[in-house]
Amino acid sequence: MKIDKQKVMDQTRESLFNVFRYALPEDEATARRLIEENTHFPENDPGEWAPRSIVVIHAEGVPLPYPAEARDVEEWFKVSEGIDGAYVEHINGAVAAVYEG
């Protein structure tokens, strides 16, 4: 079955918003705009970090917690749980990508 990239993008953005709401700007419109501006399809990713991914997340630009603490790792797992048929994998502390699987 072919994965719907736009659906994965939409689910990624919503999951990021829901899981990391506490770390985002208080104004919902600003928070959602930051997430939108920092999530890219790989062909539009300015850093060209993960060309085989479905979505690239520039976590540093939002900003989202770095997965160094156990709590933060668990929260990133929750982001993956909000995406049907895909998961989040960190490339480094500032960039993550969503892959099919």
pLDDT tens track for 68-87: 665 678 889 999 999 999 99
The answer to whether 20 touches 75, Cβ cutoff 8 Å, is: yes
Token digits of residue 64? 């989202």
Average pLDDT over residues 14-35: 94
The closest alpha carbon to 59, from 79, 32, 39, belongs to: 39
- What is the mean predicted confidence (pLDDT) over 16-43? 94
Q: Into how many domains does the chain fold?
A: 1
Q: How many CA atoms lie within 13 A of 81 on its CB side?
A: 8
Per-residue model confidence as pLDDT tens digits over 33-77: 999 999 999 999 999 999 999 999 998 888 787 666 656 788 899
CA 53 distance to own-chain centroid: 12
Please report the pLDDT score of residue 18 as a whole number: 96
